[in-house]
Amino acid sequence: MKTFNETQKAFRIWLMAIIMIGWISFIVFTVWVIQQQLVKHIPVGDKPLPDVGLIIMLSSLNFIFAFFVFLVVKLRLETEINNTGIRYSFLPFIGQRKIDWSEIDSCWVRKYKPIKEYGGWGYRHLFRGRAYNVWGRWGIQIVKKDGRMLLLGTSKKDEAAVVLANLGYNKAYEKK
Protein backbone atom coordinates (compact mmCIF):
# COMPACT_ATOMS: atom_id res chain seq x y z
CA MET A 1 0.00 0.00 0.00
CA LYS A 2 1.52 3.28 -1.12
CA THR A 3 1.28 6.20 1.29
CA PHE A 4 1.30 9.94 0.70
CA ASN A 5 3.71 12.16 2.60
CA GLU A 6 4.23 15.86 2.09
CA THR A 7 5.87 18.71 3.95
CA GLN A 8 5.10 22.20 2.69
CA LYS A 9 7.20 25.05 4.03
CA ALA A 10 6.27 28.71 4.02
CA PHE A 11 9.88 29.76 3.40
CA ARG A 12 10.38 31.40 0.02
CA ILE A 13 13.44 33.48 -0.87
CA TRP A 14 11.36 36.25 -2.45
CA LEU A 15 9.05 36.47 0.58
CA MET A 16 11.99 36.57 2.99
CA ALA A 17 13.62 39.29 0.83
CA ILE A 18 10.47 41.44 0.99
CA ILE A 19 10.19 41.01 4.76
CA MET A 20 13.89 41.72 5.30
CA ILE A 21 13.84 44.84 3.09
CA GLY A 22 10.86 46.10 5.11
CA TRP A 23 12.53 45.27 8.40
CA ILE A 24 15.85 46.90 7.45
CA SER A 25 13.97 50.01 6.30
CA PHE A 26 12.15 50.10 9.61
CA ILE A 27 15.43 49.69 11.54
CA VAL A 28 16.90 52.65 9.63
CA PHE A 29 13.77 54.66 10.49
CA THR A 30 14.04 53.55 14.15
CA VAL A 31 17.67 54.69 14.37
CA TRP A 32 16.76 58.05 12.81
CA VAL A 33 13.83 58.59 15.22
CA ILE A 34 15.97 57.67 18.23
CA GLN A 35 18.76 59.97 16.98
CA GLN A 36 16.31 62.87 16.51
CA GLN A 37 14.16 62.59 19.61
CA LEU A 38 16.33 60.87 22.23
CA VAL A 39 19.81 62.12 21.31
CA LYS A 40 19.22 65.54 19.73
CA HIS A 41 15.98 66.19 21.69
CA ILE A 42 14.14 67.26 18.51
CA PRO A 43 10.54 66.01 18.73
CA VAL A 44 9.47 63.79 15.82
CA GLY A 45 6.04 64.62 14.39
CA ASP A 46 3.33 67.15 15.26
CA LYS A 47 2.33 65.28 18.41
CA PRO A 48 5.47 63.37 19.46
CA LEU A 49 5.24 60.42 21.80
CA PRO A 50 6.97 60.64 25.15
CA ASP A 51 10.41 59.00 25.03
CA VAL A 52 9.23 55.88 26.92
CA GLY A 53 6.20 55.48 24.63
CA LEU A 54 8.42 55.89 21.58
CA ILE A 55 10.81 53.19 22.77
CA ILE A 56 7.91 50.82 23.54
CA MET A 57 6.28 51.42 20.15
CA LEU A 58 9.47 50.98 18.13
CA SER A 59 10.47 47.87 20.11
CA SER A 60 7.02 46.34 19.61
CA LEU A 61 7.07 46.92 15.86
CA ASN A 62 10.56 45.42 15.59
CA PHE A 63 9.30 42.41 17.55
CA ILE A 64 6.44 42.02 15.03
CA PHE A 65 8.93 41.96 12.14
CA ALA A 66 11.02 39.37 13.99
CA PHE A 67 7.87 37.27 14.54
CA PHE A 68 7.10 37.34 10.78
CA VAL A 69 10.64 36.19 10.01
CA PHE A 70 10.22 33.37 12.57
CA LEU A 71 6.92 32.33 10.98
CA VAL A 72 8.29 32.27 7.45
CA VAL A 73 11.24 30.16 8.56
CA LYS A 74 9.36 27.73 10.85
CA LEU A 75 5.82 27.42 9.43
CA ARG A 76 5.14 24.10 7.75
CA LEU A 77 2.25 21.82 6.93
CA GLU A 78 2.91 18.10 7.18
CA THR A 79 0.42 15.65 5.71
CA GLU A 80 0.41 11.86 5.64
CA ILE A 81 -2.25 9.62 4.11
CA ASN A 82 -2.11 5.89 4.76
CA ASN A 83 -4.46 2.94 5.21
CA THR A 84 -5.39 3.99 8.78
CA GLY A 85 -6.31 7.61 8.03
CA ILE A 86 -4.92 11.07 7.53
CA ARG A 87 -2.35 12.68 9.81
CA TYR A 88 -1.50 16.34 9.67
CA SER A 89 0.26 19.06 11.63
CA PHE A 90 0.62 22.79 11.12
CA LEU A 91 3.82 23.60 12.96
CA PRO A 92 4.66 25.46 15.14
CA PHE A 93 1.00 26.02 16.06
CA ILE A 94 -0.78 22.68 15.80
CA GLY A 95 0.88 19.39 16.63
CA GLN A 96 0.10 16.11 14.93
CA ARG A 97 -3.57 15.24 14.58
CA LYS A 98 -5.14 12.16 13.06
CA ILE A 99 -8.45 11.51 11.38
CA ASP A 100 -9.34 7.83 11.06
CA TRP A 101 -11.04 6.64 7.88
CA SER A 102 -14.02 5.61 10.04
CA GLU A 103 -14.61 9.33 10.78
CA ILE A 104 -14.47 10.41 7.12
CA ASP A 105 -17.55 10.57 4.90
CA SER A 106 -15.69 11.68 1.77
CA CYS A 107 -12.27 12.91 0.76
CA TRP A 108 -10.87 14.17 -2.55
CA VAL A 109 -8.30 16.46 -4.11
CA ARG A 110 -9.71 19.72 -5.43
CA LYS A 111 -8.70 23.09 -6.75
CA TYR A 112 -9.85 25.95 -4.56
CA LYS A 113 -9.58 29.72 -4.32
CA PRO A 114 -7.60 30.48 -1.15
CA ILE A 115 -8.52 34.16 -0.85
CA LYS A 116 -12.15 33.89 -1.94
CA GLU A 117 -12.99 30.70 -0.02
CA TYR A 118 -10.82 31.00 3.08
CA GLY A 119 -9.49 34.56 3.19
CA GLY A 120 -5.94 33.57 2.29
CA TRP A 121 -3.32 31.08 3.41
CA GLY A 122 -2.39 29.82 6.85
CA TYR A 123 -4.77 28.47 9.47
CA ARG A 124 -8.30 29.45 8.49
CA HIS A 125 -11.55 28.75 10.26
CA LEU A 126 -14.53 30.13 8.37
CA PHE A 127 -18.08 29.08 7.60
CA ARG A 128 -16.70 26.70 4.94
CA GLY A 129 -14.79 24.81 7.62
CA ARG A 130 -11.15 24.78 8.59
CA ALA A 131 -8.22 25.05 6.21
CA TYR A 132 -4.51 24.60 6.72
CA ASN A 133 -2.65 25.80 3.68
CA VAL A 134 0.75 27.27 2.94
CA TRP A 135 0.89 27.89 -0.82
CA GLY A 136 -0.97 27.09 -3.95
CA ARG A 137 -4.53 26.38 -5.01
CA TRP A 138 -4.83 22.63 -4.50
CA GLY A 139 -6.00 20.86 -1.41
CA ILE A 140 -7.23 17.62 0.06
CA GLN A 141 -10.87 18.22 0.99
CA ILE A 142 -12.10 16.13 3.89
CA VAL A 143 -15.75 15.91 4.92
CA LYS A 144 -16.24 14.11 8.21
CA LYS A 145 -19.32 12.08 9.05
CA ASP A 146 -20.40 14.76 11.54
CA GLY A 147 -20.48 17.29 8.66
CA ARG A 148 -17.34 19.21 9.63
CA MET A 149 -15.01 20.04 6.76
CA LEU A 150 -11.23 20.37 6.61
CA LEU A 151 -8.99 21.34 3.71
CA LEU A 152 -5.28 20.49 3.77
CA GLY A 153 -3.24 22.32 1.15
CA THR A 154 -1.05 20.25 -1.15
CA SER A 155 1.46 20.85 -3.88
CA LYS A 156 1.44 17.15 -4.80
CA LYS A 157 -2.13 16.95 -6.08
CA ASP A 158 -1.61 14.04 -8.48
CA GLU A 159 0.22 11.88 -5.95
CA ALA A 160 -2.42 12.58 -3.28
CA ALA A 161 -5.24 11.79 -5.74
CA VAL A 162 -3.70 8.42 -6.66
CA VAL A 163 -3.29 7.38 -3.01
CA LEU A 164 -6.85 8.48 -2.16
CA ALA A 165 -8.21 6.61 -5.21
CA ASN A 166 -6.33 3.46 -4.16
CA LEU A 167 -8.03 3.76 -0.76
CA GLY A 168 -11.45 4.11 -2.40
CA TYR A 169 -11.70 7.87 -1.99
CA ASN A 170 -11.00 10.91 -4.21
CA LYS A 171 -14.64 11.27 -5.09
CA ALA A 172 -16.39 14.62 -4.75
CA TYR A 173 -18.78 14.96 -1.85
CA GLU A 174 -22.38 14.88 -2.91
CA LYS A 175 -24.85 16.56 -0.58
CA LYS A 176 -27.52 14.13 0.48
Q: What is the pLDDT along the chain (176 residues), one digit of tens a residue?
A: 689 999 998 877 887 788 889 888 988 988 898 898 889 988 888 888 888 888 898 889 888 888 888 888 888 999 999 999 999 999 988 999 999 999 999 999 999 988 888 777 877 777 668 899 988 899 999 999 999 999 999 999 999 999 999 998 866 544 43
Looking at the structure, do residues 49 and 69 belong to the same domain, yes or no? yes
Beta-carbon contacts of 88 under 8 Å, excluding residues fewer than 6 positions away, are: 77, 78, 79, 80, 96, 97, 132, 152
The count of other CB atoms within 10 Å of the CB of residue 75 is 19
59 and 65 Cβ atoms separated by less than 8 Å: no
- Cα 151 to its chain centre, rounded Å, is 12
In a domain, 176, yes or no: no
The pLDDT value recorded for residue 173 is: 44
The DSSP output letter for 72 is H
User: Which 3 state secondary structure label does DSSP give 12?
Assistant: coil
In a domain, 173, yes or no: no
153 and 117 Cβ atoms separated by less than 8 Å: no
The pLDDT value recorded for residue 174 is: 42
The dihedrals phi and psi of 130, each to the nearest 5 degrees, come to: -95, 150
Domain end among 74, 106, 121: 74
The count of other CB atoms within 10 Å of the CB of residue 81 is 26
How far is Cα 69 from Cα 23, in angstroms, rounded to an integer? Answer: 9
The parent domain of residue 48 ranges over: 7-74
Looking at the structure, do residues 54 and 105 belong to the same domain, yes or no? no
The dihedrals phi and psi of 113, each to the nearest 5 degrees, come to: -110, 100
Alpha-carbon dihedral 98, 102, 106, 109, rounded to 10 degrees: 40
User: Which 3 state secondary structure label does DSSP give 23?
Assistant: helix
The pLDDT value recorded for residue 15 is: 73
Looking at the structure, do residues 70 and 82 belong to the same domain, yes or no? no
How far is Cα 94 from Cα 50, in angstroms, rounded to an integer? Answer: 40
The pLDDT value recorded for residue 121 is: 80
Looking at the structure, do residues 59 and 95 belong to the same domain, yes or no? no
Looking at the structure, do residues 82 and 162 belong to the same domain, yes or no? yes
The pLDDT value recorded for residue 138 is: 94
> Which CATH number do you get for residue 134?
2.30.29
The pLDDT value recorded for residue 172 is: 56
